[in-house]
Chains A and B, each alone.
Chain A
Amino acid sequence: MSSSKHSSSQLRVGDSPLVKWLLIGLTLFLTAILLVVPLIAIFQQAFVEGAAHYFNSLIEADTLHAIGLTLVVAALTVPINLVFGVMLAWAVTRFEFPGRKILMTLMDIPFAVSPVVAGLLYLLLYGNNGWIGSWLYDHDIQLMFAWPGIVMVTVFVTCPFVARELIPLMQQQGREDEEAAVILGASGWQLFRRVTLPNIKWALIYGVILTNARAVGEFGAVSVVSGNIRGETNTLPLHVQLQYEDYQAAAAFASASLLAMIALLTLLLKAFIEWRQERSLKIEAEKERQVTQ
């Protein structure tokens, strides 16, 4: 990706081979200890009863359903939080208004609230005894203990990620480029697409990746509002817990390894997006040049 940056390299900090390999070595060492070995341990425990058992436990109907539900929840959560994150970041980094910092702090509530408590609060509001929930009950609308409830709490738990990624970057960049573009007569959408988006695309992608990873792995809040109905409202993390409690440790770790792989898969998706965006930008630049000629 940033190979173009790296080519003009002797001039940058930390590029002497000694420093470079020292830092890489240290990082790899720490990562191996802190992240890789635990990952290996998960796979080791997943395969402790053999590969056949591993795959059989994954194609069990309840497990398949849990996988599907987890993916649907993530697929609904990510776009919602993407839109919100961009809007919020734009508002707080491009304008001054009273209460701006309070707004930025409020956004962090989900990080500061224990997920179990978050789930409970949704339950108190939308459950049968809550003031919205009792209205829903009278109209036979079931949000809690069904997939909408799971999506709602997942949105809650993951909503700050995109904005949190964008804000430091957009602050650091300042608004000079965009203001210049407006003065040159760009419309709102053009401005966003041509100026802002290329500048923030990395942060945006990291935001999406984090949101997705967290949405897929969320346990605490979801467990409160899910109802744990097998083959219906059981997400993959809940399923892992259930299998583990049920003395099916190998199957539990097999499901867990699947969650790890979903995280790795998002990263592949990121690489793919990277590649496509780079290509489309090139094509666009080409077109523009042709037009101006």
Chain B
Amino acid sequence: MKSKPRFLKSIIGTLLLSGAVQASAADQTILNTSYDIARELFATYNPTFEKHWLEKTGKTIEIKQSHAGSSKQANAIMNGLSADVVTFNQVTDVQVLHDKGKMIPADWKNEFPNASSPYYSTIAFLVRKGNPKNIKSWGDLAGNNVALVFPNPKTSGNGRYTFLAAYGYAQKTFGKDNEAKVDNFLSTFLKNVSVFDTGGRGATTTFVERGIGDVLITFESEVNNIRNQYGADKYQVVVPKTSILAEFPVAVVEKNAKKNGTEEVSREYLSYLYSEESQRLLAGFNYRVHNDVVKAEFADKFPEVNLLTVENIAGGWPQATKELFANGGKLDQLQRR
């Protein structure tokens, strides 16, 4: 046991050394706190921004990345994680930074264009090769003998969007007032679920590696990741005619940026996501974008979809959360035995 202290010392020494090396790198540092599957995206975007910032101001900037589920990230920021900007996949997780954290202004959605959502996506289906169950729209998902895989709406934003999209489809098909039929559709839809994973990645594994289910329901942006990882020839993408708008909101965490003196660069970091170059980069990662030039270039990649919004379907996120997803809400009632 005598060797322990020496071992400890050498390790602490190494750590301090590496810390010292890191500290000297750039004029300024900002921390981008992001959702769990955006690593590759920002690993590509950050160098282009660093270059842009150097050209614009002559200063170097280092961007640190933190990735985890966006609800967890929001909670961490409210408890002291010193994030300068957030790039999330959940509007509610940005909103909570204002509602509970008082760290961003109430009108954060007006800070940047398109409701502060530089890119967006929608919910699509992944089916097995040849589409054996002939799945084309949300209506087919409530059929007999169709097994679904999507993450639990209680634990995953991905799952919440899926539920909302199915809800929106039912409202459109049966009429908003025909609550009995809507509920009936939704409860069959939920009964068809084989496995409820806690996150989107878990659901993908269940569908692809375990061979469970006929349809995986997930973000359109995820689908190509899945095909890259598991082979493009084994699966087919189905984008339904009607689906939901899934926003990917961004915001400067003003309270932290002020303290760190990084407001200017933080704002520019997010604004630059709207530039043509960045929008092209985003489209390359299978996100839908707003820039018209880029849109035209990628037209064949993103089929036309009638996108419903959360406002259309449930009157906005606060109401959706309260009436659909909270304890005892619609989802709980439909899942009751």
The reply to whether A242 and B67 form a contact with Cβ atoms under 8 Å apart is yes
Pick the most buried of B40, B68, B81: most chain A CB atoms within 10 A of its CB.
B81
Q: Is the CB of B18 within 8 A of A244?
A: no
B1 on interface, CB distance cutoff 8 Å: yes
**How many interface contacts (CB-CB < 8 Å) are there between A and B?**
89
B80 touches A133 (CB 8 A): yes
Residues of A within 8 A of B68 (CB): 223, 228, 242
Whether B312 sits at the interface, judged by CB under 8 Å, is: no
Tell me if A145 and B201 are in contact (CB < 8 A). Answer: no
Residues of B within 8 A of A144 (CB): 79-81
A240 to B67, CA, bound (A): 12
Give the Cβ gap from B4 to chain A, nearest Cβ, in Å.
Answer: 7
Decide yes or no whether B271 CB sits under 8 A from chain A.
Answer: no
Please give me the residue from chain B that is nearest to A232 by CB atom.
B64
Residue in B8, B73, B78 whose beta carbon sits within 8 Å of that of A129 in the complex: B78
CB distance from A145 to the nearest CB of B (A): 4
Inter-subunit contact A230/B67 (CB<8 Å):
yes
B7 touches A75 (CB 8 A): yes
Known: A75-B7, A137-B80, A145-B76. A68 touches B66 (CB 8 A): no
Chain B, residues 77-99, CB within 8 Å of chain A (1/0): the string is: 01111100000000000000000
How many angstroms from the CA of A242 to the CA of B43 in the assembled complex? 14
Cβ-based interface call for B36 (8 A): yes
A127 at the interface (CB under 8 A from B): yes
Which residues of chain B are near A145, meaning CB under 8 Å?
76, 80-82
> Does A231 sit within 8 A of B, measured CB to CB?
yes
Q: Does A224 contact B (CB under 8 A)?
A: yes
- The count of chain B contact residues (Cβ–Cβ below 8 Å) is 35
Of the 9-residue stretches B9-17, B163-171, B174-182, B233-241, which lies at the interface with chain A? Answer: B9-17
Interface flags, A204-227, vs B, CB<8A=1, else 0: 000000000000000000011001
Name the residue among B18, B66, B68, B80 with the largest chain A CB count within 10 angstroms: B80
Residue on A nearest B38 in the bound complex, by CB: A246
- Cβ-defined partner of B64 (8 Å) among A123, A229, A245: A229
Q: Which of B1, B7, B65, B79 has the most CB of A within 10 A?
A: B79
**Which chain A residues in 38-72 approach chain B with CB under 8 Å?**
65, 68-69, 71-72
Task: Answer yes or no: A273 CB below 8 A from chain B CBs.
Answer: yes
In this complex, the member of A129, A224, A246 whose beta carbon has the largest number of chain B beta carbons within 10 angstroms is A246
Specify which chain A residues have a CB less than 8 angstroms from the CB of B81 in the assembled complex. 144-145, 227
CB-defined contacts of B11 to chain A, threshold 8 Å? 68, 71-72, 75
**Contact flags (1/0) for A110-130 with B, using CB distance below 8 Å?**
000000000000011001111
B37 close to chain A: CB less than 8 A: yes
Taking CB atoms, residues of chain A closer than 8 Å to B76 are 123, 145, 224, 227-228
With A and B bound together, what is the CA distance between A244 and B37 in angstroms? 9
A229 contacts across to B, CB distance below 8 A: 31, 64-66
Q: Is the CB of A247 within 8 A of B225?
A: yes
Chain B residue numbers with a CB within 8 Å of A198 are none
**Best-buried of A65, A223, A244, A245 by chain B (most CB within 10 Å):** A245
CB distance from A150 to the nearest CB of B (A): 12
Q: Does B199 contact A (CB under 8 A)?
A: yes
Residues of B within 8 A of A247 (CB): 37, 201, 225-226, 228-229
Q: Which residues of B contact A (CB under 8 A)?
A: 1, 4, 7-8, 11-12, 14-15, 18, 22, 31, 36-37, 39-40, 64-68, 72-73, 75-76, 78-82, 199, 201, 225-226, 228-229
Mind listing 6 A-B residue pairs with CB under 8 Å?
A124-B79, A133-B80, A142-B82, A228-B73, A242-B36, A242-B67
Complex A-B, nearest 7 residue pairs according to Cβ-Cβ distance, in ascending order: A127-B79, A128-B80, A227-B81, A145-B81, A228-B68, A245-B36, A229-B66
Residues of A within 8 A of B (CB): 65, 68-69, 71-72, 75-76, 79, 123-124, 127-130, 133, 137, 142, 144-145, 223-224, 227-232, 242, 244-247, 249, 273
